[in-house]
């Protein structure tokens, strides 16, 4: 990753806003921005001189007045010189500013990659890898539960246990190296291989166990996706709105009203938050748009943790829909629901499965359905096992450490054993606080958005 260029990005969310921000970071950030300003304006000289503070400037292209905020390094978010241009929140104007700055920079500036501002903050030691993971998790959060999980990413438990592992591996490495260096001296005894293997395997198994707990905690923390599905016009959207307690999606007597998967966070009894998804009705695709709708519906079903299969109370052949859905690839829990039960009374037990009778119009059965979803979601595991919450970067580092320790078990030559132990020690050291190498950072920061 190139650390020399000045990186630029729009730092506010996509779309129009009252104010817009172009963010720059890099050793030459102030000079590069000043070159895109009218130098007869005092503010441009303050920016060029890296003077901390807010300066009024005139941009050359487009020719508008703006505020420039200068935050010289190392006391800045990235540790480098940072500067921001605050102006009108028009995406077109912000893009023009970035283009103009890059063009005038003579190759010194470029657009930032996703997460690159945070990469630089980690590289310069301004934030630790755990904080960066927390930023990544916060960016991707869809619910309050996701945000809470993001905040748990920095409990320190992982660092402490990893520091203990690193300590043990450092001891073993010292013993192995002593064996290599002093084989001719009687009073230095290298560690016996069985003892070495026992201690290495103990550390490795501990690491793997923590990785497994972390993976479990991650999936437990992720809000479950609850997808409503069934034939067109079954009353899925009406049920979706009834479950949410607000009208979020269009209901209509016309078949095929819902054309896209619509998502909304929903809090269930007991406080569990889920992502409720209203999907297009399942039917044979005739027109081009039907193909797209069916693709959206199947995509939603395939990502579901809980599937609510809806069939209308007056549907003479509700089983047909059940067959259509048998291609689901994930292990989702299915809840069978009869809709529109205010029109016709239905039996809620069939030979194969229990069914919940509902009516979006009268509200009958909605509390039962909400309870059933909460029960189904709770099957996905405890949602508070976040002591060992890990982000993707630290998880990858720990896995690499465990893999290196696997090598110790299968190779015999002391030099190679020492090299593998050193690799494991480096990875563990990175988790316990040191700076991780570029490739691991790349894995983490590819999940960021530009400007973060
Ligand atoms: N009587 C009665 N009518 C309902 C109920 N739920 C939905 N409807 C009616 O059924 C029709 C279809 O409702 P929607 O919720 O749009 O059905 P949908 O399954 O989302 O339909 P598509 O999006 O086209 O697949 C509308 O006219 C609703 O008013 C209900 O509980 N009782
Ligand atoms: Mg609908």
Model confidence band, residue 389 (pLDDT cutoffs 50, 70, 90): low
Identify the residue with better confidence: 214 or 373.
Answer: 373
Q: 258 CA to middle of ligand 2, Å?
A: 4
User: With pLDDT > 90 as the criterion, what percentage of the chain qualifies?
Assistant: 41
Q: Rounded distance, CA 311 to CA 322, Å?
A: 9
Strand partners, 336: 309, 355
- Tell me the pLDDT tens digit for each residue of 65-76: 999 999 999 999
Q: Are the C-beta atoms of residues 7 and 111 closer than 8 Å to each other? A: yes
Q: 291 CA to middle of ligand 2, Å?
A: 16
Q: Directed axis angle between helix 414-431 and helix 392-410, to 10°?
A: 160
> Mean pLDDT across the chain, nearest whole number?
83
Looking at all shown ligands, the one closest to residue 233's CA atom is 1
Q: Rounded distance, CA 175 to CA 170, Å?
A: 9
Model confidence band, residue 124 (pLDDT cutoffs 50, 70, 90): confident
**Phi–psi pair at 447, nearest 5 degrees:** -90, 0
Q: Rounded distance, CA 448 to CA 86, Å?
A: 22
Cβ count near 188 (within 10 Å): 12
Cis peptide bond upstream of 182, omega within 30: no
The CATH number, out of the four listed (3.40.50.800, 3.30.1360.120, 3.40.50.720, 3.30.559.10), of the domain defined by the range 6-112: 3.30.1360.120
Residue with the two structure tokens 């605050």: 86
First-to-final CA distance of the chain: 16
Model confidence band, residue 309 (pLDDT cutoffs 50, 70, 90): very high
Identify the residue with better confidence: 7 or 445.
Answer: 7
Q: Rounded distance, CA 298 to CA 229, Å?
A: 9
Query: In sequence order, what are the residues at sequence separation of 6 or more whose Cβ sits closer than 8 angstroms to the Cβ of residue 184?
Result: none
Q: Are the C-beta atoms of residues 279 and 226 closer than 8 Å to each other? A: no
Identify the weakest region by mean pLDDT among 135-139, 270-274, 418-422: 135-139
Ligand 2 ion: Cβ-proximal residues, 5 Å cutoff? 237, 257-258
Helix ranges (DSSP H) in 278-413: 288-302, 319-324, 366-378, 392-410
Identify the weakest region by mean pLDDT among 70-79, 232-241, 362-371, 425-434: 425-434
Mutate to test the pocket of ligand 1, among 228, 234, 238, 360 (most ligand atoms within 8 A of CB): 238
- Tell me the pLDDT tens digit for each residue of 198-211: 999 999 999 988 88
Cβ count near 352 (within 10 Å): 9
Cα atoms in the Cβ-side hemisphere of radius 13 Å centred on 355: 22
Identify the residue with better confidence: 448 or 12.
Answer: 12
> Which sequence spans correspond to the domains of the chain?
6-112, 152-220+387-445, 224-378
Q: Rounded distance, CA 82 to CA 74, Å?
A: 9
Burial of 364 (0-12, 13-18, 19+ CB in 10 A): middle
Mutate to test the pocket of ligand 1, among 235, 321, 359 (most ligand atoms within 8 A of CB): 235
- Tell me the pLDDT tens digit for each residue of 368-385: 999 999 998 877 654 433
Q: Are the C-beta atoms of residues 221 and 146 closer than 8 Å to each other? A: yes
Q: Does the pLDDT of residue 3 top 80, yes or no?
A: no
Q: Rounded distance, CA 173 to CA 196, Å?
A: 10
Residue nearest to atom 1 of ligand 1 (CA): 340
Q: Are the C-beta atoms of residues 32 and 97 closer than 8 Å to each other? A: no
The answer to whether domain 224-378 has CATH 3.30.1330.10 is no
Q: Are the C-beta atoms of residues 340 and 356 closer than 8 Å to each other? A: no
E-state strands within 126-259? 224-230
- Tell me the pLDDT tens digit for each residue of 319-329: 655 444 444 44
Query: Once rounded to an integer, what is the mean pLDDT over residues 373-401?
Result: 69
Task: Tally the residues of the chain.
Answer: 452
Whether 234 lines ligand 1, by a CB cut-off of 6 Å, is yes
Q: 285 CA to middle of ligand 2, Å?
A: 16
Q: Does the pLDDT of residue 196 top 90, yes or no?
A: yes
Q: What is the DSSP letter of 154?
A: G
**Phi–psi pair at 347, nearest 5 degrees:** -80, 135
Instruction: Using only the alpha carbons of the chain, give its radius of gyration.
Output: 29
Check residue 323 and give its pLDDT: 44
Query: Once rounded to an integer, what is the mean pLDDT over residues 168-191?
Result: 76
Q: Rounded distance, CA 367 to CA 265, Å?
A: 17
Cα atoms in the Cβ-side hemisphere of radius 13 Å centred on 319: 4
Q: 357 CA to middle of ligand 1, Å?
A: 15
Q: Are the C-beta atoms of residues 214 and 130 closer than 8 Å to each other? A: no
Order of strands, sheet of 224-230, starting from the edge strand that comes earlier in the sequence = 262-267, 273-278, 224-230, 306-312, 333-339, 355-357
Tell me which fold the domain 152-220+387-445 belongs to.
Answer: 1.20.120
The model's pTM is 0.52
Query: In sequence order, what are the residues at sequence separation of 6 or more whose Cβ sits closer than 8 angstroms to the Cβ of residue 205?
Result: none
């Amino acid at each position: 990753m190139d650390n020399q260029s000045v990186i630029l990005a729009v730092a506010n969310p996509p779309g129009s806003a009252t104010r817009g921000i172009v963010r720059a970071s890099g050793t030459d950030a102030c000079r590069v921005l000043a070159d895109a300003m009218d130098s007869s304006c005092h503010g441009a000289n303050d920016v060029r001189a890296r003077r901390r503070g807010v300066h009024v400037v005139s941009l050359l292209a487009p020719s508008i007045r703006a505020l420039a905020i200068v935050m010289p390094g190392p006391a800045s978010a990235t540790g480098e010189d940072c500067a921001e241009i605050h102006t009108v929140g028009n995406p077109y104007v912000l893009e023009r500013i970035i283009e103009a700055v890059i063009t005038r920079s003579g190759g010194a500036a470029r657009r930032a990659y996703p997460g690159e501002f945070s990469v630089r903050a980690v590289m310069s030691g301004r934030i630790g890898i755990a904080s960066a993971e927390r930023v990544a998790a916060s960016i991707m959060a869809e619910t309050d539960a996701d945000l809470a999980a993001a905040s748990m990413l920095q409990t320190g438990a992982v660092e402490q246990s990893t520091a203990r592992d690193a300590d043990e591996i450092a001891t073993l490495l010292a013993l192995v190296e002593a064996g290599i260096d002093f084989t001719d001296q009687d009073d230095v005894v290298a560690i016996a291989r069985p003892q070495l293997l026992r201690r290495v395997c103990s550390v490795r198994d501990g690491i793997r166990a923590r990785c497994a707990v972390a993976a479990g905690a991650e999936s437990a923390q992720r809000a479950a996706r609850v997808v409503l599905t069934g034939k067109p016009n079954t009353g899925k959207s009406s049920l979706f709105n009834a479950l949410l307690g607000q009208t979020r999606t269009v209901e209509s007597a016309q078949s095929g009203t819902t054309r896209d998967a619509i998502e909304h966070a929903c809090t269930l009894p007991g406080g569990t938050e889920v992502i409720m998804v209203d999907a297009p009705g399942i039917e044979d695709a005739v027109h081009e748009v039907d193909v797209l709708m069916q693709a959206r519906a199947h995509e939603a079903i395939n990502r579901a943790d809980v599937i609510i299969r809806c069939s209308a109370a007056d549907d003479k052949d509700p089983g047909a829909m059940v067959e259509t859905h048998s291609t689901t690839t994930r292990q989702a829990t299915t809840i069978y629901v009869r809709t529109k039960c205010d029109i016709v009374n239905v039996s809620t037990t069939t030979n194969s499965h229990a069914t919940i009778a509902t009516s979006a119009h009268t509200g009958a059965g909605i509390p039962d359905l909400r309870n059933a979803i909460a029960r189904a979601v709770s099957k996905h595991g405890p949602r508070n096992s976040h002591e060992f919450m890990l982000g993707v970067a630290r998880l990858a580092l720990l896995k690499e450490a465990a893999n290196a320790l696997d090598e110790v078990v299968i190779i015999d030559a002391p030099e190679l054993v020492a090299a593998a132990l050193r690799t494991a020690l480096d990875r563990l050291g990175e988790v316990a606080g040191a700076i991780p190498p570029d490739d691991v950072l790349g894995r983490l920061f590819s999940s960021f958005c530009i400007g973060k």
